[in-house]
């Protein structure tokens, strides 16, 4: 099973983001023992896409210094150790959900919607989202290119922004063409979205009955 056929990649991206936010909110207000059960379920939920675990582990490795600093500050300010552990596990859970979203959502999956959704507010929203995603790496590249020529950070940012605006029309054309190409060509799956709802329905059922 490649990524295109994987059920996690066929889920509605907007609905996926919305459900993930609800899951994070629920996880932050329940008791620690119930949270661990929800964490375990979330972990097993993504087993059909092992690449998510790999990206999650890479993110965990990068934030190890943050965890160390967190526990050091906890000692200085006499924060109870269980509370520190609770916060750390919550962050780890948040990173897992973030890895899931980053891996399974692409700009194409968002703008590849049916024609009746490409009007009014929705079209403007998709254009804004696509423009933001394209603009950030463009600004980063310009910043790197100008870094050797300009040492003053303010000048560097201003010049990089100016260079980006010079190419803004190119980016605009790319985004418009991408939206046109992907209009009505999205691959949808009813079962993928049913599986998506399990991510939130099972935790709610467990919390309510247990």
Could you read off the pLDDT of 8-52 as tens digits, one per residue?
Answer: 999 988 899 899 999 999 999 999 999 999 999 999 999 999 999
- Dist. CA 137–CA 67, nearest whole Å: 28
Q: Which two tokens stand for residue 123?
A: 């079209």
**How many folded domains does the chain comprise?**
2
Shared-domain flag, residues 70 and 160: no
pLDDT of residue 174: 67
Shared-domain flag, residues 171 and 198: no
Shared-domain flag, residues 35 and 89: yes
Q: What percent of the chain has pLDDT over 70?
A: 72
Query: Which residues neighbour 147 within 8 Å (Cβ) at sequence distance 6 or greater?
Result: 156
The conformation of residue 11, written as its DSSP 8-state character, comes to: S
pLDDT of residue 208: 84
- DSSP element (H, E) containing 193: helix 190-209
Could you read off the pLDDT of 161-210 as tens digits, one per residue?
Answer: 888 777 777 766 766 666 655 554 455 578 999 999 999 999 999 888 87
Shared-domain flag, residues 102 and 22: yes
Q: Is 186 helix (H, G, I), strand (E, B) or coil?
A: coil
DSSP 33-94: HHHHHHHHHHHHHTTT-THHHHHHHHHHHHTHHHHHHHHHHHHHTT--HHHHHHHHHHHHHH
pTM above 0.75, yes or no: no
Shared-domain flag, residues 78 and 27: yes
What's 92-160 look like in SS3?
HHHHHHHHHHHHHCCHHHHHCCCHHHCCHHHHHHHHHHHHHHHHHHHHHHHHHHHHCCCCCHHHHHHHH
- Dist. CA 194–CA 86, nearest whole Å: 31
Shared-domain flag, residues 176 and 196: no
Shared-domain flag, residues 141 and 166: yes
Residue 180: CA count within 13 A, CB half-sphere: 6
Q: Which two tokens stand for residue 90?
A: 């919550």
- Dist. CA 113–CA 183, nearest whole Å: 6
User: Within its chain, how far is the Cα of 120 from the centroid?
Assistant: 25
Q: How high is the mean pLDDT of the chain?
A: 81
Shared-domain flag, residues 100 and 199: yes
The residue range of the domain holding 57 is 3-106+187-209
The conformation of residue 5, written as its DSSP 8-state character, comes to: G
């Amino acid at each position: 099973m490649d990524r295109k056929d994987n059920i996690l990649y066929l889920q509605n991206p907007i609905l996926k983001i919305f459900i993930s936010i609800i899951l994070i909110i629920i996880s932050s207000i329940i008791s620690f023992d119930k949270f661990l059960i929800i964490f375990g379920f979330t972990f097993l939920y993504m087993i059909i896409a092992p690449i998510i675990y790999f990206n999650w582990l890479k993110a965990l490795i990068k934030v190890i210094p943050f965890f160390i600093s967190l526990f050091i500050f906890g000692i200085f300010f006499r924060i109870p150790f269980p509370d520190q552990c609770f916060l750390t596990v919550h962050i780890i859970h948040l990173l897992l959900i973030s890895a899931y979203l980053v891996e399974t959502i692409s700009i194409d999956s968002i703008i590849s919607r049916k024609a009746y959704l490409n009007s009014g507010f929705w079209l403007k929203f998709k254009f804004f989202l696509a423009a933001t995603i394209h603009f950030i790496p463009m600004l980063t590249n310009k910043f790197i290119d100008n870094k050797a020529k300009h040492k003053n950070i303010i000048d560097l940012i201003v010049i990089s922004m100016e260079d980006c605006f010079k190419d803004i029309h190119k980016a605009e054309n790319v985004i418009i063409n991408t939206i046109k190409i992907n209009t009505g060509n999205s691959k949808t799956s009813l079962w993928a979205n049913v599986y998506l709802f399990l991510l939130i329905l099972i935790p709610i059922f467990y919390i309510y009955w247990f």
